Structures are given as C-alpha cells and as structure tokens.
Amino acid sequence: MDGSPPAQRALRWAAGQARLTGARLHVVTAWELPSYHGWAPPAPYDEDLAATAGKVLSISVREVLGDEPSDLVVAESVVPGHPVQVLVDASARAALLVVGCRGHGAFTGALLGSVSQQCVQHSRCPVVVVRGSG
C-alpha cells in the first residue's frame, strides 16, 4: 500500500474479498533506502523512512476502511525492501495477493518491471491485479 489511488482500489477490493471469505486482511507497505553511488545515508535515515511509510500505510487504510472496521481483522506491516520482493515473500504465507495497477496504457503497462507484473510472474499464491478507475 503506497497510498496511491490504484493501491486504494486494490485495498477496497481485497477488503470486500476478505469479508466474503472471512479471511484476515494483511496490508503491507515496503520501503527501501534510495541508492546513490558513493553516498551512504546516516543510520537514523532508515528509521525515518520506515516511520513515514507506516504513517502513509495507516492513513491509507483508515481512508479506505474507516477507523476500526468491525467486520474485518486487519493487520498492517511495514517491511524494508523492494516492493516486488516484499510482496512475493508475503505471498508465501497468503491465500491471495491483491495488487493495484497504475494503468499507464497499453504500451507502458506491458513493460517488464512493473510491480504488478512481477508479482503475477513470481508470486507463490494466486494474484488479483485490480485495474481501472472505479
């Protein structure tokens, strides 16, 4: 969950599926240090990124699901690493992985490297890619 509209649509869809199946909803966000050749950030830098990612995650979950949804068990995780690797790793313990798609059009949407495409190719469980603007 990165707070983007596609991620919010995916969370909305996943919440509906969790309600239908009685499953627990685990919402994950990933963060990683930006890489700059020849420069290393000071040690507390990663803590700030993790805290910021956690705030974005919590705010996004509340915006989509409300303050405390009584009909869902929701867990939130902030995990260091590249989004693809974090989600593929999480898929090993999941019944279903739901990701959003930014939908940049036919050509750029087909390019290798997008998170959703990499998750579809490497996930260890079924994947739903939520597209569209609704």
* pLDDT, greater one: 130 or 103: 130
What residue ranges define each of the domains in the chain, with the CATH number in brackets?
5-130 (3.40.50.620)
CA nearest neighbour of 115 among 95, 98, 94, 99: 99
Per-residue pLDDT tens for 60-103? 999 999 988 889 999 999 999 999 999 999 999 999 999 998 75
Residue percentage of the chain with pLDDT more than 90: 63
For 17-66, write each residue's pLDDT tens digit.
999 999 999 999 999 876 666 666 555 555 688 999 999 999 999 999 99
Q: In the 3-class helix/strand/coil scheme, how is the chain assigned residue by residue?
A: CCCCHHHHHHHHHHHHHHHHHCCCEEEEEEECCCCECCECCCCHHHHHHHHHHHHHHHHHHHHHHCCCCCCCCEEEEEEECCHHHHHHHHHCCCCCEEEECCCCCHHHHCCCCCHHHHHHHHCCCCEEEECCCC
